[in-house]
Amino acid sequence: MQQVRNRTGHDFSGYKISTINRRLERRMDLQRIHEPQAYLVYLQDHPEEIDLLFQEFIISVTNFFRDPHAWLSLSEQLPALLKQAAQTGQEFRAWVPGCATGEEAYTLAILIQECIADWEQPPAVRIFATDVDQTAIEKARVGRYPRSISQFMSETFMRRYFSAENDTVRIGREVRDIVVFAEHNVLQDPPFTNLDLITCRNLMIYLERDRQGAAPGTVPLCFA
């Protein structure tokens, strides 16, 4: 973990040791190394293996509308939250820590667009979407996904919010423009502030219980 921290700047000491051990074992198996000491030496001689270990630790599985029941429940609460912002004339600000390649943040953006589409005076909306994985953040900014994502949402949403690009689909500009992606570590960097909503899904489960409270800071409504 020291070597991963030195190379990537990210500290995994707050992660569940059982998860870290499983991930370490997987990398060691792939390299056919059976002794921890030998793997340490291998890491010293092969810095690119440290990058692979980092990718192994962060676990980037994600999807649009993952856990649909949770999104259904949130969509029932969104009108009231957005109305509050509209009434005060303030920007509606949401934060999605651990956003991976953008699917969760764009799911939230789609639900917000659906909610305010026919409002006469909708609030301005800004979604901050962050992750430790810089490569994932770059993909998220582009917003291009395989056509197979259509299995996770209705045809109407696919038609309304995506356009076909060769054998992929790309999220439309009106949704892309309200999401700001940035590299950020919930355990090391200061939290975002002045928020109306945080959605933080499938990230806290990887952290030790005493570190789960350390992130993501003061939370008005956390949908985790």
Ligand X SMILES: C[S@@+](CC[C@H](N)C(=O)[O-])C[C@H]1O[C@@H](n2cnc3c(N)ncnc32)[C@H](O)[C@@H]1O
Q: By CB under 6 A, which span of 73-81, 114-122, 129-137, 172-180 interacts with ligand X? A: 129-137
Q: Are strands 92-97 and 125-131 parallel, antiparallel or unpaired?
A: parallel
Q: How far apart are CA 112 and CA 14, in angstroms?
A: 33
Beta-bridge mates of residue 168: 146, 165
CB 179 within 8 A of CB 105: yes
Which member of 3, 19, 185, 212 binds ligand X (CB under 6 A)? 185
Binding to ligand X by residue 116, rule CB under 6 A?
A: no
- Residue number, 61 or 117, with CB nearest to ligand X: 61
Residues near 87 by Cβ (< 8 Å), separated by ≥ 6?
A: none
Site string for ligand X, 31-70 (x = CB under 6 A): ---------------------------xxxxxx--x----
- Planar angle of CA 61, 63, 67, nearest 5 degrees: 105
Binding to ligand X by residue 4, rule CB under 6 A?
A: no
Q: By CB under 6 A, which span of 73-81, 85-93, 163-171, 195-203 interacts with ligand X? A: 195-203
Binding to ligand X by residue 102, rule CB under 6 A?
A: no
- Planar angle of CA 191, 197, 199, nearest 5 degrees: 80
Binding to ligand X by residue 110, rule CB under 6 A?
A: no
Which residues sit at the interface with ligand X, rule CB under 6 A? 58-63, 66, 97-100, 103-104, 131-133, 136, 185-187, 201-203
